[in-house]
A = this chain, B = another copy of it.
Amino acid sequence: MRDFSHDHRWLSINTATVRKQGDLLAIVEACARHGIRAISPWRDQVAAIGLARAVAAVREAGLDLSGYCRGGMFPADRAHAAEMRDDNRRAVDEAVALGAPCLVLVVGGLPHFSRPGSAPSHDLAAARAQVEDGIAALLDYAKPAGMPLAIEPLHPMYAADRACVNTMAQALDICDRLDPGRTGALGVACDLYHVWWDPDLFAGIARAGRERLLAYHVCDWLVPTRDLLLDRGMMGDGVIAMRPIRRAVEAAGFSGYSEVEIFSEQNWWQRPMDEVLATCIARHREVV
């Protein structure tokens, strides 16, 4: 396993971690100043400053990307199918323009949550089928563009509204069906927050292997967790035993960035950006 204790060369900042403290230009500037080598930006942050300015800012700062957030939200009724398709294609185009190594997919839950305005349905199996069809169709667009798609299994507490792919095994089953050749065009984003509880996590990591492990996200699970979405913890403040998981991910062949992604309305979003980044760096060395 790589030794992270002496530097933070393998730290990436998911820009949602400091989204309340500044726009993407401010985040890029701060990350570069802290010697952080990579970020993973969100589409709304890119849109807010314009794609061209985002591309230029990342390039001028000399930053790598560890991913681009996010495509997905595939379940939709017929009236919203074209919107869903076009939106995802634009996400691929933006990821290409930004030089991202992968587009992260948050696949969506039931159609009325995934694409608001869609007819309500409580058919989770149907939503899952729509997800797989949506990924298959997007793969036909992304593969020629050279943009890998990273399916992010989300915690089961988001199954209804954010993602009905909830385990590594489920994501890898989709990968096996849509990319049996393990070409690297389709894989997973392994986010500790979503998968740490899974008794089959280590089996899933080994099964994924180098070709399918496209991104690795870290934060921590707090006890108590006060909000289902916006109460993630800083690494070391929660209950996730991180080192064994990173050891497994690296043993499976992953050699990329550890991307910090923390949504924290009451705590980290309230602190100055420099304090948050300095803490990410310290915890990356100590506990990731």
Residues in B with CB closer than 8 Å to A156 are 155-157, 197-198
Q: Determine the distance from Cα of A166 to Cα of B128 in the docked complex, in whole angstroms.
A: 21
- By beta carbon, the residue of chain B nearest A170 is B199
By secondary structure, the A interface counts as loop
Give the distance to chain B from A117, nearest Cβ to Cβ, in Å.
Answer: 16
A197 x B240 contact (CB < 8 A): no
Q: Determine the distance from Cα of A228 to Cα of B158 in the docked complex, in whole angstroms.
A: 12
Residues in B with CB closer than 8 Å to A170 are 199
Residue A136 lies at the interface, judged by CB distance under 8 Å to chain B? no
Contact of A241 (CB < 8 Å), options: B122, B157, B167 = B122
Chain A interfacial positions (CB closer than 8 Å to B): 110, 113, 122-124, 128, 155-157, 159-161, 164, 166-167, 170, 196-199, 221, 223-225, 228, 238-241
Q: Contacts A122-B240, A221-B160: A199 and B166 contacting too (C-beta < 8 A)?
A: yes
Chain B CB within 10 Å, residue with most, of A113, A156, A159, A170:
A156
Q: Contacts A241-B122, A241-B123: A160 and B223 contacting too (C-beta < 8 A)?
A: yes
Q: Determine the distance from Cα of A241 to Cα of B122 in the docked complex, in whole angstroms.
A: 6
